[in-house]
């Protein structure tokens, strides 16, 4: 008897749920200029989609190696 295959959910790790937030994680192991460039390119692509939105804050969490950019809510 064949087993039913379960549908694999897409990995949304790099897609923030908050529409007013863009973020990127830097690798914790073997951080190199090249790996940082990949992370920064990802952030660049996220920011490029936001166009003229006003930035509220930019924060870097060194322990988590997470850089996040918060925008003012749309219509504010």
Residue 16: name the closest of 56, 43, 52 by CA: 43
From residue 32, how far is each of 8, 23, 29 by CA, in Å?
Answer: 32, 19, 9
DSSP H or E segment with residue 43: helix 33-50
Q: How confident is the model at residue 74 (pLDDT cuts 50, 70, 90)?
A: confident
The two tokens of residue 26 are: 């830097």
What is the three-class DSSP state of 30? coil
List, for residues 26-68, the tens digit of each pLDDT value: 998 889 999 999 999 999 999 999 989 999 999 999 999 999 9
pLDDT at 75: 77
The Cα 72–Cα 59 span in angstroms is 14
């Amino acid at each position: 008897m064949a087993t039913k295959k379960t549908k694999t959910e897409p990995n949304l790790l790099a897609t923030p749920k908050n529409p007013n937030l863009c973020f990127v994680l830097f690798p914790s192991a073997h951080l190199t200029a090249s790996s940082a460039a990949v992370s920064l390119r990802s952030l660049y692509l996220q920011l490029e989609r936001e166009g003229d939105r006003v930035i509220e804050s930019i924060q870097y969490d060194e322990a988590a190696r997470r850089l996040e950019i918060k925008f003012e809510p749309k219509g504010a």
